[in-house]
A and B are shown apart, each in its own frame.
Chain A
Amino acid sequence: MSAAGQAGAGDRPATAPAAAPPDDLMSALRALPSRYPQARGALLPILTRLQEWRGHLTPADMRLAGELVGVAAADVFSVVTFYTMYRQRPVGRFPLGVCRNIACWVNGSEQLVATVRETLGIGPGETTPDGLFSLEEVECLGSCGSAPCLEIDSCYFEQQSPVSVKALLARLKAGAGDAAATLAAAHADAAAELRRARDGRP
């Protein structure tokens, strides 16, 4: 577990849901408000960093974010509920987001959801009992030219198929001990594969 809390899935404290952010994350958070003319500008970046570290946002996280920018906790709560990327409940170590919008849908995104369901037994909004995977349907990821697309912690896996999704799930499961490294490696390979398949086309 790297402490800075920048990377993604694997950095999350596996237990201790009440854990407080480590010191180096705290100092990174404290440095953010001065980047803006008004401290409140740093609210989203602070929430994002906290969520990247914990995997979701707790009431304590929201209070902390509010204190750092001088905003009431209730106000922070109203901001958190506005944005779809913020989660208030734990999700799997690998939160799968399958795009359901037009280009992905025309290219078989429903089959990707079905593949996840068959392989892991979860549907949208659900998490596997081992806490490894959760599934969500998301809106357009800006990946329409290499549809269908799924993302895991904002790592894109593009031009997917039921076969590639099955392989991806198996690989992530096998490497779940070091989730961040496994995700990064799988992502790098998927990007290289995509480049080969598309012959350099953007």
Chain B
Amino acid sequence: MENYLSTEFRRATPLFLEEARAKGRYRTAQRVFETLTPEQVVDEVKNSGLRGRGGAWFPTGIKWSFMPKEPLKGPSYLVINADEGEPGTFKDRQIMEKDPHLLLEGILIGSFAIRAETAFLYIRGEYKLAHDTLAQAIAELEAAGILGDAAFGTKRKMRIVLHRGAGAYICGEETALLNSLEGRRGEPRPKPPFPAVWGAFGRPTSVNNVETLANVPAILEKGAAWYKSAGTAQAPGHLLFGVSGAVERPGCFELPLGTTARELVERWAGGVKGGRRMKAFIPGGASTGFLPPDRLDVPMDPESLRKEGTMLGTGGIIVIPEGVEIVDAARVFSRFFRHETCGQCSPCREGSAWSDQVVGRFQRGEGRTEDFVLLDAIMRGSKQRTICVFPEAFAGPLGSAVKHFKDDLMAVSARRAAADAGSGAAAHGTASHG
């Protein structure tokens, strides 16, 4: 299957409307608006097997089918999740900075499918360039009459409101994002009610990731059967995989779901930087934790990674080279999650802080075998006892470090303890974060 997500990624400047239309953009959206019903769009997307790229991998067509069929006494909304904050993830940014109209066409079709006349595009505060690029692209659509009171000359109204966040990882969680959009603290909401019932401003809402929506125009143009010809049976299509960390040519690569991590790292990203060996890799963003290099041949799809006890997440591979200790990398994450918990639920607030302290102990050479029991208790104690699944995110790096690198953690701790005893206040080297 030819690439359909990343065709413009090598450009120096964004693909704006005139050139985009010359390449056939918006022909599909126009056909959808003029000739299809919302049910037909939802069915096509359902049949394609498209699953959400924000990390949870929920089937998009099914999510859309939960939305009210008749706008009941008021509007439904589409909310686009462009908060992209999972460390190791930088794909949505490529779409927005290079090919804004790919996303916008997906938004138009998605809005049509769920009978929304307003779409809110929530973009993380740091993505100023992406925000400004989208603002320009949206203005182009307004000037062209594609957005406005008669989208594509039909009776449908359509508008897109750009909204910038202000720095908080948790706002990527869909209900936190809705609170943030409403001008509140970005704290996740208890579910139910789910967004399809009570979403943005109390109205039925579908929250979809940027990359998810970028898949939609191709599905409507070429059909579900075409889409299913790539990827795996349960996760069809292409994914924008990220490869970062210690590799020769880091970047964002469009490949079928099910491509192995080895192919991504060795073939596409040029292997480990400087010809070093790999200590570990993270398959799909910070929350998915560490895997040892002997798992590189695992196919990168949700089901295969679940069998490995982890998740595909956002598909952002991060390579940790030999010479970097797992405990130091784990501390980067434990500190991150401690910083990013919203603090509403005690098991999460306290658990993220405790686990950071425990990892800190190992880092300083004060690790004890009892600490593994403690870590396990923290992770089990927070599971399913909180408003959102954030504790599963911080348990990712933590649990996997214990599972795959237990001996390593103890050995490094013992070595650092010995070094301290030997030379008083000897430094641990630059990798220590105190």
Contacts and interface: CB of A to CB of B under 8 A. Distances in A.
Interface of A: 35-38, 40-45, 47-48, 69, 71, 78-79, 82-86, 100-103, 105-107, 110-111, 139-147, 151, 153-156, 195, 198, 200-202
Given A144-B88, A154-B128, A83 B201 contact: no
B339 interface: yes
A144 B244 contact: yes
B128 to A, nearest CB: 4
A79 B249 contact: no
A139 B340 contact: yes
B26 interface: no
A38 B126 contact: no
A35 B180 CA distance: 15
Closest 3 CB pairs of A and B: A43-B183, A85-B167, A83-B166
B332 A102 contact: yes
11 contacts: A36-B161, A43-B183, A82-B187, A86-B167, A100-B332, A101-B332, A103-B244, A106-B246, A106-B321, A139-B85, A154-B126
B354 to A, nearest CB: 20
B318 interface: yes
A100 B244 CA distance: 14
A139 B339 contact: yes
Contacts of A143: 90, 93
Contacts of B85: 139-140, 142
Interface size class of B (residues with CB under 8 A): 35 or more
Contacts of A44: 163-166, 180, 183
Contacts of A105: 329, 332
Contact of A155 (B90, B93, B128, B245): B128
Interface string B165-205: 11111000000000011111111000000000000110100
Given A79-B183, A79-B184, A103-B245, A48 B164 contact: yes
A71 B126 contact: no
A41 B180 CA distance: 8
Contact of A101 (B94, B98, B319, B336): B336
A103 B161 contact: no
Contacts, number: 163
Given A44-B180, A140-B89, 4 more contacts: A37-B201, A140-B88, A147-B244, A200-B12
A107 B246 contact: yes
A145 B163 CA distance: 25
B242 interface: yes
B374 to A, nearest CB: 24
Interface string B151-171: 000000000010111111100
Interface string B288-328: 00000000000000000000000000001011110010000
Nearest to B94: A202
A201 B128 contact: no
Listed residue (A45, A103, A151) with the most chain B CB atoms within 10 angstroms of its CB: A103
Contacts of B167: 83-86
Contacts of A41: 163, 181-183, 201
A102 B290 CA distance: 12
Contacts of A82: 168, 185-187, 342
Contacts of B333: 102
A193 to B, nearest CB: 12
Contacts of B250: 103, 144-147
A155 B12 CA distance: 17
B16 interface: no
B423 interface: no
Contacts of A101: 87, 286, 332, 336
A141 B48 CA distance: 32
Given A48-B166, A154-B125, A202-B98, A103 B201 contact: no
A145 B165 contact: no
Contacts of A202: 6, 9-10, 94, 98, 251-252
Contacts of B286: 101-102, 140
Contacts of B9: 202
B86 interface: yes
B124 interface: yes
Nearest to B240: A202
Nearest to A139: B336
